[in-house]
Amino acid sequence: MTAILQQNLPSIPWLVPALARLPGVLPLAMGDWLVSDEVFAAQMALRDRLLAENRAAVYAMTPGAAGAAAALLALILDHLGPGYARAGGAVIRPDGVRVVLDAAPPLITAARLVQEDLCLHQPGPDGEHVLTGAVLCFPASWSLDEKIGRPLSAIHGPVAAYDAQMAARVQRLFDAVRPGRPLWRQNALIYADPALHQPRREAAPRRDPPDQWRYLRSEKQCFVRVPDSDAVVFSIHSYVVALDALPPEARAGLARLHRVG
């Protein structure tokens, strides 16, 4: 399969002090939440194919998330950017694909409209947010079926930096998101394989040899309060850029962090 690569990143997180510190969040205008970039058509075609051919692997819902999913779809419809058109009970995407609004569950419809993967989180019995619904077509080495229904601390269990202190900070972040005032962060991961769909089990962590590192995978992750619900949507816009395409100052900073040649 041909790699789907962007030419550049919207920001260089390891060169922005506020993003480089974990969890590294910044405020975001609602108008800057949903982004359609130069690979919109290619990423959306891949998402449509995965949803059609392998839905069980990329879509999951718990019984209590139906209302939040419907509210999220309404929110996304209110914030579609240039290039979209309403046509009766459907939306025409910038790539010309027609998405009928009532032809699939609301979360799937929402994910077929925008380039971001969508993960709904709602407070559990103890107040910690739980992953209650998602369309995750472009996982960066994790599997939706292992994470659905689990709280944030369990979801991030394999992450070494996610200790009790970090878990408390992230939970406060989810609690603090206000309607119309989203937050965002951006990560940076180095991969040998540019494929967007890379699910991986917790028991089989990724181990790419450094001499095979060729690509930077970076996610713009947004935290948006879903109106008329108790949910926060964690949206993920995935960028994959060849390391050689990075500007010199970005590559030099990355080399200091990861010993990239």
pLDDT (tens digit, 0 to 9) for every residue of the chain, 261 residues total?
A: 689 999 999 888 888 877 767 777 899 999 999 999 999 999 999 999 999 999 999 999 999 999 999 999 999 999 999 999 998 899 999 999 999 999 999 999 999 999 999 999 999 999 899 999 999 999 999 999 999 999 988 887 666 555 677 778 888 889 989 999 999 999 989 999 999 999 998 888 778 877 888 999 999 999 999 999 999 999 999 999 999 999 888 888 887 666 443
Within 10 A of 114 (CB to CB), how many other CB atoms are there?
A: 23
Q: Provide, for the chain, the percentages of residues in helix, strand and coil under a 3-state DSSP scheme, each rounded to the nearest 5.
A: 35, 25, 45
Q: Measured between alpha carbons, how far is residue 142 from residues 40, 81, 114, 148, 258 in Å?
A: 23, 30, 21, 11, 21
The per-residue pLDDT for 162 is 58
Q: Measured between alpha carbons, how far is residue 30 from residues 37, 99, 189, 250 in Å?
A: 17, 23, 26, 28
CB 192 within 8 A of CB 222: no
Separation between Cα atoms, residue 4 and residue 62, nearest integer Å: 31
Q: Measured between alpha carbons, how far is residue 189 from residues 98, 135, 213 in Å?
A: 33, 21, 10
Dihedral (Cα; 231, 71, 224, 159), 10-degree rounding: 50
Q: Which helix (H) or strand (E) holds 150?
A: none
First to last CA, the chain: 27
- According to DSSP, the residues that pair with 220 across neighbouring strands are 186, 237
Q: Which helix (H) or strand (E) holds 55?
A: helix 55-58
Strands (E), 155-205: 183-186, 189-191
Separation between Cα atoms, residue 101 and residue 201, nearest integer Å: 33
pTM of the model: 0.93
Tell me the DSSP string of 200-254. --TTS-----GGG--EEEEEEEEEEEPTTSS-EEEEEEEEEEEGGGS-HHHHHHH
Separation between Cα atoms, residue 40 and residue 33, nearest integer Å: 15
The per-residue pLDDT for 261 is 38
Mapped onto helix, strand or coil, the DSSP state of residue 169 is helix
